[in-house]
Structure 1
Amino acid sequence: MGVSLAAVAVLAGAVGCQAGDGDKKAAGESKPATQHQSHADATQALTAAYQKTAAAKSAKVRMTMSMPASAPGGGDMEMTGVLGWDPTVMDMTMKGGAFGAAPGSPEQMRMVWQNNIMYMDMGAAGAKDMDGKRWMKLDLAAAAEASGDKAVQQQMAQGLENMNQDPAQQLALLLDSPNLDHLGPVTEDGVRTEHYKGKVTLDEMVASNKSLDTLSKQDRDRLLADMKKSGIKAYDTEVWVDKDGYPVRMDVDMDTPEGAVKVSAHYSDYGAAATVQAPPADETVDLFKMMKELGEGMKDGAGATAGTA
């Protein structure tokens, strides 16, 4: 489970760097006329791509992630399936060396995301430890609410917001890059595309992250300082857009003290219905409920022991 959550964190957090100013891009805000013409052309093309991608609301995706071996969940991983946005839904299968590195972990895992709840298929081996039920349920919002801790609730809310990692938001963030450039035509995945590239600094990413608006200035500054301690200074992003204005591929590279983190996502079938079905309740174990009951059992056991003494 830890490996799968690490993968989700990469997919939804570091990779996404969610942008919150896509609306102004959709409204047609232009860059200053003094900027280089290629930059202006690239901005215009990616603004159109942003609008079409945001309206599509779903796509099939094949994503590969490469993380340093020394990092948590390090190694290579591949995720394939369907991704929907606004609202967020996901049905992905994860596999790869990074995923199978944990002792006892299955060779691959299916992950379903619906209504802000994550379901993880722990396989036949996992079912042996969960009364024959192979699906584990993780309701982050419910866990945050039950904690009674405002800081935890805020963190969970931001995490859920950042799960909405659609390619349109990636484009909105890339549009903020001051050095956005058009690299020219190239064939990608057998499709004729136009290739664009830009770099977004950590400060620019935080400034664009709408989900951080709920933080006070003090908390926001502390968060930025903590992120800078991770050693990530900027995100190099590349996108390949087809003749219909949809991203065919998007790459994000980050340099960390442990080494390079590389993520490459290939998209297709934009606008196809993202049908995601949550597993049956009788095949599901609620992780938060299980941990809560375990904690209460340990508390009762400790009280009984103290009374006997």
Structure 2
Amino acid sequence: MSRSAWKRAAVALAAAAVVAGVAGCQDGDGGTKKAAGASATAQPGTQSPEEAAKAVRAAYAKASAAKSAKVEMRLNVGGEKAPGGSTFTGVQAWGPVAADLKVFDSSYLAEIPGAPVETRMVTAAGATYVDLGEGLTAQTGGKRWLKVDAEGAAAGDELMIQLTGGLTVAAMDLPKELGLLAGSSAVKHLGPVKGGDVEAEAYEGELPGGKLMEVWIGADGHPVKTIVHAESGGTTTSLTTKYSDFGAKAAVQAPPAGDTVAFTDLLKRLGRG
């Protein structure tokens, strides 16, 4: 694999980490084309916009009180730049923000020779760390963990911005995203939906930056699924997250600083080649 191809795969992996792990909510510069979640199969909605906003606000209150949940996330990126996807499972918290996730079924890991088939991703203290495994330490100066900061990563490479597609860290602060959705002037009720053994009511609205968010709210008022879409620079990004076991706990600790390499520093190392 050439150094430029390694760099491309590393950027794509870092972008996946940004979308799936770094905390916060920032505006994008792209627009969404469509939602491809429940709306295609849901029965017509019957709630007024006011009733829809009230239901989303109630889900916001439930999520805020719980502070954490188990998650199963699927990230899909389309377009010519670096299409691919990754799956993440584990525990995510938003009070304060933290996550401990297993990463697998990742086309980005598969593109990097020596990378593990599955790995671990930890979010703590405002940054996300991806375990690159022992096979890549020659390219990282002996460091095992790739440190990705949302602002630093976006500033480090144009491809990173295009891959995150204005979706950067969407739905990572679930209450914040639900609050923005409830305040959308166009939030609407899509109707009842069912996926597996989950029955819910689906709602949809536009978030700042043109992102389109769909949320499924269960009978107990908790959000059980979110689907967020965005497009920027010819790249489309979709993040689907399933939630369960609200209040689940995880002991999250950042890796030792001496065993981490910053994403921007890794780009410099690769660029020197």
Alignment counterpart, residue 197 of structure 1, candidates 192, 198, 204: 204
1:287 partner SS: strand
Q: Using the alignment, how far apart are the partners of 1:182 and 1:140 within structure 2? A: 32
Stretches of structure 2 lacking an aligned partner (at least 5 in a row): 1-9, 28-45, 154-167
Q: In the alignment, what sits opposite 1:55? A: 65
CA deviation profile, 1:43-69 (whole Å, cap 9, x unmatched): 111111101101111111111111124
Q: Using the alignment, how far apart are the partners of 2:97 and 2:189 within structure 1? A: 30
- With a CA cutoff of 8 Å and minimum separation of 6, indicate the structure with the bigger relative contact order: 2
Q: Using the alignment, how far apart are the partners of 1:240 and 1:81 within structure 2? A: 20
Alignment counterpart, residue 76 of structure 1, candidates 79, 85, 95: 85
CA deviation profile, 1:106-152 (whole Å, cap 9, x unmatched): 323311122234332111212466687633456789x99xxxxxxxx
Q: In the alignment, what sits opposite 1:258? A: 234
For the pair 1:240 / 2:250, whether they are aligned, the reply is no
Q: In the alignment, what sits opposite 1:122? A: 132
Aligned partner letter, 2:200: T
Q: In the alignment, what sits opposite 1:218? A: none
Q: In the alignment, what sits opposite 1:249? A: 225
Q: In the alignment, what sits opposite 2:99? A: 90
For the pair 1:183 / 2:190, whether they are aligned, the reply is yes
Aligned partner letter, 1:48: A
CA drift of 1:84 comes to: 0.8
For the pair 1:10 / 2:28, whether they are aligned, the reply is no
Larger proportion of helix: 1
Q: Using the alignment, how far apart are the partners of 2:122 and 2:254 within structure 1? A: 7
Identity across matched positions, percent: 34
- Structure 1 residues 62 and 164, CA, compared in 2 at 3 Å: closer, same or farther? closer
| Structure 1 segment 120-159 matched on structure 2, within 5 A | 120-127=130-137, 134-137=144-147
Q: Using the alignment, how far apart are the partners of 2:93 and 2:136 within structure 1? A: 28
CA contact (8 A) 1:188 1:248 kept: no
CA contact (8 A) 2:127 2:149 kept: yes
CA drift of 1:101 comes to: 2.3
Q: Using the alignment, how far apart are the partners of 2:47 and 2:119 within structure 1? A: 46
1:107 partner SS: coil
For the pair 1:285 / 2:259, whether they are aligned, the reply is yes
CA contact (8 A) 2:89 2:103 kept: yes
What is the RMSD computed on CA atoms of the aligned residues?
3.6
Q: Using the alignment, how far apart are the partners of 1:163 and 1:260 within structure 2? A: 14
CA drift of 1:17 comes to: 4.2
- Structure 1 residues 66 and 117, CA, compared in 2 at 3 Å: closer, same or farther? closer
TM-score (norm 2): 0.69
1:244 partner SS: coil
Q: Using the alignment, how far apart are the partners of 1:254 and 1:133 within structure 2? A: 33
CA contact (8 A) 1:100 1:108 kept: no
Q: Using the alignment, how far apart are the partners of 1:191 and 1:180 within structure 2? A: 22
Stretches of structure 1 lacking an aligned partner (at least 5 in a row): 19-35, 145-160, 207-233, 299-309
Aligned length: 226
Q: Using the alignment, how far apart are the partners of 2:238 and 2:140 within structure 1? A: 35
CA deviation profile, 1:240-283 (whole Å, cap 9, x unmatched): 011121111100122345253221111111111132134467xx
Q: Using the alignment, how far apart are the partners of 1:186 and 1:138 within structure 2? A: 36
- Structure 1 residues 106 and 88, CA, compared in 2 at 3 Å: closer, same or farther? same
